[in-house]
Chain A
Amino acid sequence: MSDPALGLTMLCLIVVVIMMGFPTAFTLMGLGMFFGYIAFYQPHQFFTDNKVFDLMVQRAYGAMTNDVLISIPLFVLMGYVMERGALVDKMFYSIQLAFRRVPASLAVATLIVCTFWGIASGLVGAVVVLMGVIAFNPMLRAGYDVKLASGVITAGGTLGILIPPSVMIIVYAAVAGQSVVKLYAAAMFPGFFLSFLYLIYIIGWAMINPKIAPTLPEALTRVPVPDWMRSFTAAYSRNVFVSLMSALLSPSRARAIKAATGPLGYPRLLGNLCIALVPTFLIVGTLAVTWWYVVIHQQATVEATVTGVQQLGIQLGPRAATLAEQGPPEGFYLWFGIACAFGAFILGRSFWRMDADRFEVLKLLTSSVMPLGILTVVVLAVILFGITTATESAGVGAAGAFLLAFQARTLDWKRTKEAVFLTAKTTAMVCWLFVGSALFSGVFAILGGQALVEQWVLSLNMTPVQFMILSQAIIFVLGWPLEWTEIIVIFVPIFLPLLKHFNIDPILWGTLVFVNLQAAFLSPPVAMSAFYLKGVSPPHVTLNQIFNGMMPYMLVIIICMVIMYLWPGMTLWLPNYLYGI
């Protein structure tokens, strides 16, 4: 048998053997060893001198010193700590209250919690089970359509593997030799865009056909306003913000109120005022950071590159400035002004209408969603603005998750231990898989299998669109029986060298693969999330209803992929703006 034929045999065998259910890392290792032994075989050599043994060790050492994979344990640790530290049911409750006037409010709250949760962790099963208990039964009791309710939980639960910081993106970056930060920036908009499309779909459907999501009964939407707050607003003004301000000036009436938790002194009034000001801080903070990054930060770097002494080893000649470094883009000031005006309008409206109910909702949101939100925003911003490397942001993020969990008093010794051990297992799983696949792909390339596949694809004379559709379709089908780890580590590398020929950006292609896998994980009858949901749902909900509920979301994902392909700017603008082309 010729060498390339051996390579192809290897590729066919791997598909068969993986389906036999042996741990994939060792399957890859074994096949690599076997075919590598044949490839390196020399008749006069003693069998232990075969070079494949050295290749195995070199590849293992390569994985041990891989500077991309090193951020995996840190991000995984951050996810495990956050998922043990944050309180999902509190989050769900407060978000549901905040959206109580929106059509299908429970479904909307579910989706938002799933999106947030997706930022924190990438586990499909646990999210679906949790949301199944917390949200599915209330939705069914409120008379929601079974299909709507089950679809939103299963689709929301799989979002976690897409939204950064996700481990899948790091693994793809390591496989494709792309920068992690660029891929994070690229996956940012499509991830939230997909979640936004889901949202439009839910609200739109509920508005067209209100029967599928009846308005909730009064008892479920009543905000629990404490008694002191009622007497407090009665004493001053209906508007909580006005009352707080005037109480700070003349506290005598506030002191007279008997609150169950103690007297109303200055500290408590100030604390409540801070909560009332949280939206202001958030909006002003976001605008200020944007201004700082686009206008001030860039000028500093431009000057530094001009006046700095040329160091040895730096590429000589002028380096093309990234878009971000070329100063504020045209129209930035106009758009920034519009954003400021809009922010001011929102704030004014919220202060104007801040009655006791709204204030309580704000308080609940601040205590349940904000810590997680701030941590993720900080971690993502630090990565995206290129302030630190991905590894360093991951380390800081993990430490931040610990701090948050300690502050919320949800983390004890037992949970810390669990998070550490789970991190170790997940890291070992991914990285050993990487060792195996490194050996496998090395041997595959030596045998010439890769070249044969390339020649074959090129001989088909496909257009880039055809190639795109073919590659995505293959990955979609592979997503049915396999996990994302296997697809990214084994099958994606086969396509990667071909992208250049078709002039497809590996970042765009990779992001499409991430979105594609979402659809694969939602496709009946193999979608695991459906079975997780079935496990916690009441007996009258059938598996077929859950599958039917997932179908529309698959369509939404395909629409999302088409939009991403037709309009690559959505994916590529942010990475290109931040890091240059």
Chain B
Amino acid sequence: MHGQSVLHTIDAISTWFGKAAAWLIIALMSVVCIEVIKRYLLNAPTAWIFDFDNMLYGTLFMLCGAYTLAQNAHVRGDFLYSSMRPRTQAGLDLVLYIVFFVPGIAALIYSGYVFAMESWSIGEHSTVTAEGPPVYQFKAMIPVAGVLVMLQGFAEIVRCVVCLRTGEWPSRLHDVAEIDVVEEQLAHSEYVDEEARKIAIERAKEIDEVARQRGMGGDLNT
């Protein structure tokens, strides 16, 4: 289907940026560790490290916003939501994306652009320490993240429309989920019997889904 490939292309763009930014966490970890060694063992602290840490962290989470949205991983109050039919869900989501999502993200893009431009034009540096590092490139992350999230939001709106027409949610790209740890732990376990293990690994995803719906969608209430 044509719409499906457009959706997956946008998902792939968000995911690519998100995964690229995700590696900043390794950089952040290394920078913090090196600084700990320098400060506490060598007694040679670095002045700009505070700003640098913050930039790594800020860039990380801003750029991952679209990726998280593409994976439907932003926390939802899904107590009632998850027990609704897909069409009802899509209808609600469609309205709320247009009413709530678009204005906020538009502000990030528009005002964020002005905010970053002003900083860029004066070549702003951080004032946390004397002669702090430049921050204009960091502030530019706000409109960049805004554009990415808006693009992904567009994909989500299309998803809602598709779901309203077909009654089924279009698929998402496969990605690692928290419940996967069950499989990894059990795959190598030595003290669990084979059968229970296989069943749990196979059903982990399903169990996760049913638990999130508090049993309302499934046939667990027996």
A residues with a Cβ closer than 8 A to B are: 17-27, 29-34, 48, 52-54, 56-57, 60-61, 63-65, 67, 69-70, 73-74, 77, 83-84, 87-90, 92-93, 123, 125-126, 129-130, 132-134, 137, 387-388, 391-392, 394-396, 398-399, 410, 415, 417-418, 420-429, 431-433, 436, 439, 480-483, 485-486, 525-526, 528-529, 531-532, 534-536, 542-543
B111 near A57 with CB under 8 A, answer yes
* Residue in A69, A415, A423 whose CB lies within 8 Å of B184: A415
One of B2-10, B79-87, B163-171 at the interface: B79-87
B110 near A423 with CB under 8 A, answer no
Residue among B76, B92, B200 having the largest count of chain A Cβ atoms under 10 Å:
B76
B75 near A57 with CB under 8 A, answer no
Contacts of A89 in B (CB 8 A): 185-186, 189-192
Selected A-B contacts with CB under 8 Å, 26 pairs? A19-B77, A23-B75, A26-B104, A33-B103, A48-B110, A53-B111, A54-B115, A57-B108, A57-B112, A64-B62, A89-B185, A92-B191, A125-B211, A126-B182, A130-B181, A418-B176, A421-B18, A424-B60, A425-B71, A428-B67, A531-B215, A532-B211, A534-B215, A535-B211, A536-B199, A543-B221
- The distance from the CB of A126 to the nearest CB of chain B, in whole angstroms, is 5
List B residues 147-206 near A (Cβ within 8 Å).
175-182, 184-186, 188-193, 196-197, 199-200, 203-204, 206
A69 near B57 with CB under 8 A, answer yes
Q: A431 to B25, alpha carbons, bound, how many Å? A: 14
Q: A133-B197, A429-B73, A534-B215 are in contact. Are A74 and B80 (CB under 8 A)?
A: no
B32 near A422 with CB under 8 A, answer no
Q: A226 to B20, alpha carbons, bound, how many Å? A: 49
Q: A30-B99, A89-B191 are in contact. Are A64 and B58 (CB under 8 A)?
A: yes
* Residue in A23, A421, A482, A543 whose CB lies within 8 Å of B215: A543
Contacts of A126 in B (CB 8 A): 178-179, 181-182
Q: A33 to B26, alpha carbons, bound, how many Å? A: 35
Interface status of B33 (Cβ within 8 A of chain A): yes
Q: A21-B92, A423-B25, A526-B214 are in contact. Are A73 and B60 (CB under 8 A)?
A: yes
Q: A425 to B139, alpha carbons, bound, how many Å? A: 21
Contacts of A56 in B (CB 8 A): 104, 107-108, 111
- The distance from the CB of B85 to the nearest CB of chain A, in whole angstroms, is 13
B212 near A90 with CB under 8 A, answer no
Q: A84 to B196, alpha carbons, bound, how many Å? A: 20
19 extra interchain contacts, Cβ-Cβ under 8 A, other than A429-B68, A534-B215, A535-B207? A21-B79, A21-B84, A26-B74, A30-B104, A33-B103, A52-B107, A74-B28, A84-B184, A126-B181, A130-B186, A424-B60, A424-B61, A429-B73, A429-B74, A433-B75, A485-B75, A528-B211, A534-B211, A543-B215
0 or 1 for each of B27-62: is its CB under 8 Å from A? (1 = yes): 011111101100010000000001001100111111
B residues with a Cβ closer than 8 A to A are: 18-19, 21-23, 25-26, 28-33, 35-36, 40, 50, 53-54, 57-62, 64-65, 67-69, 71, 73-82, 84, 89, 92-93, 96-97, 99-101, 103-105, 107-108, 110-112, 115, 138-139, 141-142, 175-182, 184-186, 188-193, 196-197, 199-200, 203-204, 206-208, 210-212, 214-215, 220-222
Contacts of B78 in A (CB 8 A): 21
- The distance from the CB of B134 to the nearest CB of chain A, in whole angstroms, is 14
B212 near A422 with CB under 8 A, answer no
A30 near B141 with CB under 8 A, answer no
B206 near A535 with CB under 8 A, answer yes
* Residue in B62, B68, B110, B222 whose CB lies within 8 Å of A53: B110
B211 near A30 with CB under 8 A, answer no
- The distance from the CB of B211 to the nearest CB of chain A, in whole angstroms, is 4
Q: A61-B139, A536-B207 are in contact. Are A391 and B68 (CB under 8 A)?
A: no
Residue among A18, A34, A394 having the largest count of chain B Cβ atoms under 10 Å:
A18
Closest to B71 in A: A425
- The distance from the CB of A279 to the nearest CB of chain B, in whole angstroms, is 24
Contacts of B197 in A (CB 8 A): 133
Contacts of A432 in B (CB 8 A): 61, 65, 68, 74
Q: A133-B196, A424-B25 are in contact. Are A73 and B61 (CB under 8 A)?
A: yes
Contacts of B68 in A (CB 8 A): 424-425, 428-429, 432
A32 near B92 with CB under 8 A, answer no
Q: A300 to B53, alpha carbons, bound, how many Å? A: 30
Closest to A532 in B: B211
* Residue in A24, A30, A90, A534 whose CB lies within 8 Å of B190: A90
Q: A20 to B21, alpha carbons, bound, how many Å? A: 31
Q: A64 to B60, alpha carbons, bound, how many Å? A: 9
* Residue in B28, B33, B138, B139 whose CB lies within 8 Å of A73: B28
Q: A201 to B199, alpha carbons, bound, how many Å? A: 32
